[in-house]
Structure 1
Amino acid sequence: MRKLHVAVMVAVCLVGVFFSARWAVESFLIPPPATAAEADAEQVRIGNAFLDALDAGRYDEAVTMCSAEVQQALDAEALKKIWEGLPSQLGARHSRSPLRGERVADTPVVTSTLVFGLAALDARIVVDADGKISGFRLVPGTMPAAAPVPLAADAAFSEVEFNVGQGERALPGTLSLPKGAGPFPAIVLVHGSGPHDRDETVGPNKPFLDLAHGLAELGIAVLRFEKRTKAHPNDFAGMDFTVDRETVDDAVAAVEQLRKDTRIDPTRVFVAGHSLGAMMGPRIAQRAPELAGLILLAPTARPLQDVVLEQVKYLANSDGTIDTEEQAQIDSVTQRAAAVPTLSAATPASETLLGLPARYWSDLNGYDPVAVAGQIPQPILIVQGGRDYQVTPDGDYARWQAAFDGSARVQLRLFPALDHLLIAGSGPSLPKDYAVAGHVDVGVIDVIAAFINKAAS
């Protein structure tokens, strides 16, 4: 299996961005915004010829189509590693869309969406005045929306649209509502990193959909909604923002809206965060003190930069060896991670870890989720998968255990067979596993329901 040096690996949910060889694919939490533009016919012809050459394995030909500057940074062998490595990281490719015209930062580009089993990539191509390719980037794209599965007529719950916020900036959502007499206890689901949809879709897997339906069957209402970086990505690109704008503010707003809904018991509203959403759970509780409790699913306990670096090292060494290019990538991430505590407001995002604003990192530097969890009064359930390589039992869960083992307020549950998506499996977990369809383990749903029923009684 190709690893870091093939150009793309996906650290799903905790770090919903793409890491890559530095000469080809940039890391974006949110890709630079693209606006629709009329496609130049000659640029489309050249772009198609370039992609056709890549698909046919004619990498020398593809390189000759590039400008001299690009050729200095990207030879045929490197291009081969990138292109042929994509399926091993993202699953088999299902489709390549026709090229469309766009403008990115005032630069005309032609873009094709490549849909793989696990994720979609937008291949952005810039053609210069001489007809040469002067830019080629692969950035996170949008997976085609799957047709919703209709609920069975005898389902114990129904689903209704429920937007978080008002007006043009509202976030589309779905409320899974048990049938029968309310008001019901309710959970707000909070995503991990990256531009997630309401189901927190990862390849064929939909953890938030599983949680919503499983808990609604047990009499608990569940609200899931599109993450702001998914619904309104242009609000963030090039902007100076923190995790509050990305995640916390909307979670707090969702809690407030649910508590005002007559179908919901305002004294029994909980937040269930996953990964980064779990990490920020204690802060959400500080901002929403009326919460009845917190469910933290795979919660990070360490500084985020340390978690990112550990993931990079784990995936680089997934076959037991680390080659020169992989070591160079590790060194680059190590350097950027080490710089996080000393970032200044003037540091451009192009020089920071994950391409996030310096202010984002500075805010997280002052936040210790374990310490804040110790300061809030709400009961907490912490759930950890034993096969999770992104938020690990030894690196993260052990810290939660050290702080709260024996606490009457905090429950800790370790499920040895589960990965980061809370799906059961065997052997070491890898990104390719996320391309295999599965479902959140029923044991997780049961323990959440029991926690809510106990906390609400």
Structure 2
Amino acid sequence: MRSLRVLTLILLIIAVLDRAPRPRRHAGEDALAGDWTGTLEIPGQPLPLGISLDGDSGSLTVPVQSLFEHPLAEVVVSPEKVAFTIPGLPGAPTFAGRYDPSDAVITGTFTQAGHELPLTLRRGTVPVPPRPQEPAEPRPYRSEEVTYPSGDITIAGTLTLPPAPGTYPAVVLLNGSGKNDRNEEVFGHKPFLLLADTLTRTGYAVLRTDKRGVGGTGGVLADADYDDLAGDVVAGLEFLRSRPDIDAQRVGLFGHSEGGYLGPLVASRPENRIAFVIMMAGPAASGRAVLLAQNRAIMAVREASGDEIATQLGFVEKLTTLLLDGDPERARQFVLEHNAALPPEQRQPESTMDRIVNTNFAAFVGYDPAAALRALRIPVLAFFGSKDLQVPLEQNAPLARTLLAENPDADVHVFDGLNHLMQPATTGSPTEYGQIQVTVAPEVLEYVVDWLTRRVPPAE
């Protein structure tokens, strides 16, 4: 067995993009609240990290391992004792220490899988790799915080519009899987903020929203199936078409990853009157098939052995079979038993199991986009990265071409060397995402703008 890498980024099978940003902590009455930073002195691999504390909650950031604002648990904060656990990481990592007011430092011991390392935390934030594409204020367009109903919940988001009064075509951005906010913030990047900025500067109105249970949006994502999520998209369409500054006949959908499932699903229903669909790394295969291919590709890049890959794929096949059979209780028990059989350093907290066995994940596993893609007779752009390991190119691009073959205005495009986020990549592994400075490769932004302006010209 390979030696444990301290604070290895865990790749849960549900989705690497499940990274809801946590609220920034601010110092208040608690003298220890706020941001702290230190370095784990691992031989040959010093590991800078940041801890944010606020009473009985907090978060962990480890930029070099693409871990950002990961929630802490069992947080104890007092001058006599500072302690927390880090759920969701292998080896059950913990910290225990105390605050020294004379030096204004927290000193203690970081423990993971039986290994102990001293850790000293000082006031400050851990350096994060630069994100040069992130749009800076002031921005040359209008921006509104908006809310609207979707069934019995409220959706919250941001609508950006060109600066001059007018009636504009609109783009609705559809998040990938997991608890994503309106910027689809992940690993320190904000791809939806960049996409909205690019398209709004071009002359389009752009709506981007928090997913269920994230930010200002109500509901519980784990309890939502694809009818619920498609309903949220339709609610956004109704909201836009109710406004005099939106051209109701020229509203389209731009979906990333799982959003590439929802875009065609909504657009395939004629009553929704969608003008175009753009799929950025949107799967063309079923959720179960994508999950298996994703696990195989990621483990191969991580140089797992053939036996390790076979074991993992066997686990995914059994789990997804139980979910497809509509037996969530057996699926949950199977996951718990599988977890208990792992070496202690690889086990996950039981709370993690709820992220695997739920209605939302079952909906993903059981969805096949073939019928929706075949039904589309509107302009469609589906693009992929050649180094995407989450929606592998070899599985999805050829199938997309086949399913869209009867559409006279469908473009399936491949960007060489780009990963699932459309960043220039070395291996395509999700562990690289946070280290790459580029948020979305410029050639992708240029291609999307050119394709869209030729089919749905912005208002003059």
TM norm. shorter chain > 0.5: yes
* Paired letter, 1:336: L
- Flag the 1:316–1:356 CA change in 2: closer, same or farther, 3 A: closer
Q: What displacement does 1:376 show?
A: 3.4
Counterpart-to-counterpart distance in 2, 1:366 and 1:100 = 41
Paired position in structure 2 for 1:302: 285
Pick from 74, 80, 96 the counterpart of residue 125 of structure 1: 74
Which has a greater percent of strand? 2
170-179 or 328-337: bigger deviation: 328-337
Query: Number of matched residues?
Result: 376
**Structure 2 contact 287–366 (Cα < 8 Å) conserved:** no
* Paired letter, 1:439: T
Q: What displacement does 1:424 show?
A: 2.5
Match runs of 1:17-166 below 5 Å: 17=18, 93-98=48-53, 100-101=55-56, 111-117=57-63, 118=66, 119-125=68-74, 137-138=87-88, 150-152=136-138, 155=140, 157-165=141-149
Instruction: Find the residue that maps to 2:298 and give its secondary structure.
Output: helix
Match runs of 1:100-249 below 5 Å: 100-101=55-56, 111-117=57-63, 118=66, 119-125=68-74, 137-138=87-88, 150-152=136-138, 155=140, 157-165=141-149, 169-231=153-215, 235-236=219-220, 240-245=223-228, 247-249=229-231
**Structure 1 contact 405–412 (Cα < 8 Å) conserved:** no
Paired position in structure 2 for 1:278: 260
**Structure 1 contact 275–391 (Cα < 8 Å) conserved:** yes
Counterpart-to-counterpart distance in 1, 2:366 and 2:304 = 36
Q: What displacement does 1:284 show?
A: 1.6
* Paired letter, 1:304: G
Match runs of 1:281-430 below 5 Å: 281-287=263-269, 289-322=272-305, 328-344=311-327, 347=330, 349=332, 351=334, 355-357=355-357, 359-360=359-360, 363-364=363-364, 367-405=367-405, 407-425=407-425, 427-430=426-429
**Structure 1 contact 125–137 (Cα < 8 Å) conserved:** no
Residues 1:9 and 2:10 are matched in the alignment: yes
Q: What are the ranges of 5 or more consecutive residues in structure 1 without an aligned counterpart?
A: 19-28, 32-43, 45-53, 58-83, 102-110, 128-132
217-226 or 433-442: bigger deviation: 433-442
Q: Deviations over 1:78-137 (max 9, x none)?
A: xxxxxx8xxx9xx95531234743xxxxxxxxx54212223222232399xxxxx99973
CA RMSD of aligned residues (A): 4.3
- Flag the 1:213–1:226 CA change in 2: closer, same or farther, 3 A: same
* Paired letter, 1:368: D
**Structure 2 contact 179–213 (Cα < 8 Å) conserved:** yes
**Structure 1 contact 187–272 (Cα < 8 Å) conserved:** yes
Which has a greater percent of helix? 1
Instruction: Find the residue that maps to 2:255 and give its secondary structure.
Output: strand
**Identity percentage of aligned residues:** 23
- Flag the 1:450–1:115 CA change in 2: closer, same or farther, 3 A: same
- Flag the 1:442–1:421 CA change in 2: closer, same or farther, 3 A: same
* Paired letter, 1:377: R
Q: What displacement does 1:182 show?
A: 1.9
**Structure 2 contact 142–161 (Cα < 8 Å) conserved:** yes
Q: Deviations over 1:213-246 (max 9, x none)?
A: 1111111111111112323688427x6431333x
**Structure 2 contact 58–73 (Cα < 8 Å) conserved:** yes
Instruction: Find the residue that maps to 1:97 and give its secondary structure.
Output: strand
**Structure 2 contact 146–156 (Cα < 8 Å) conserved:** yes
TM-score, normalising length from structure 1?
0.69
Q: What displacement does 1:327 show?
A: 6.2
Q: What displacement does 1:200 show?
A: 0.8
Instruction: Find the residue that maps to 2:213 and give its secondary structure.
Output: helix
* Paired letter, 1:94: L
**Structure 1 contact 270–293 (Cα < 8 Å) conserved:** yes
Instruction: Find the residue that maps to 2:375 and give its secondary structure.
Output: coil
**Structure 1 contact 273–297 (Cα < 8 Å) conserved:** yes
**Structure 2 contact 390–420 (Cα < 8 Å) conserved:** yes
Residues 1:433 and 2:432 are matched in the alignment: yes
- Flag the 1:242–1:317 CA change in 2: closer, same or farther, 3 A: same
- Flag the 1:329–1:379 CA change in 2: closer, same or farther, 3 A: same
- Flag the 1:152–1:334 CA change in 2: closer, same or farther, 3 A: same
Q: What displacement does 1:323 show?
A: 8.5
Counterpart-to-counterpart distance in 2, 1:56 and 1:441 = 33
Instruction: Find the residue that maps to 2:88 and give its secondary structure.
Output: strand
**Structure 2 contact 160–205 (Cα < 8 Å) conserved:** yes
Q: What are the ranges of 5 or more consecutive residues in structure 2 without an aligned counterpart?
A: 23-31, 33-37, 77-82, 90-125, 336-352
TM-score, normalising length from structure 2?
0.68
